[in-house]
Structure formats: structure tokens, C-alpha cells
Amino acid sequence: MVGSLVLAFAVGGFPNVQASLLMVVPVALAGWSTWEMTRCLQRRWSFYHGGVLLLLYADVLVLALVVFLMLYPYAKWLQGI
């Protein structure tokens, strides 16, 4: 989860965001980690289940940020160009 976020910042060239096809790799890693986290959920609620839900929410936030970093260079209207 954190590794894909760091990789997205490195590949994207933050703060000078640039378009790169390599951004597909962090998106795929973040999606894979989210999928793997959903496999840890249990059928009955417990504190373990609640902890996994919190980590799953964090994974979804990281996935949204990485997808935003991937799509931002193509949205010229957001950059004021």
C-alpha cells in the first residue's frame, strides 16, 4: 500500500507532474493490495474484522490518490493551460 504510493510519487515526478505510461504499475500494485486486503475479511464481526476494514479504507484512499496522479497530467483544464 505505502510502496505503491511512494512509487507513484517517484514515477509521476511530483510536484512537477508529468504523463508517464509507467504509472500503470503503481495503479496495478495498489489495486492488487486492495484485493488482497479484502481476502482477510471474516464473516462475523470482531476487532480483527474492524482493523481490516480500517486498513481497507486506507487502501481505497491510496488507490484513489494513485489513480488521480495517473490521470491528472491529461486533464489540461485542471492545470489552467
User: pLDDT of 2-46, one tens digit each?
Assistant: 888 888 888 887 777 778 888 889 899 899 999 999 999 988 999
Q: Which of 33, 37, 31 is nearest to 52 (CA)?
A: 37
pLDDT band at 56 (very low <50, low <70, confident <90, very high): very high
Nearest Cα to Cα of residue 27 among 10, 5, 46, 44 = 5
Mean pLDDT within 62-72: 88
The reported pLDDT for the residue numbered 73 is 81
Section 46-74 average pLDDT? 90
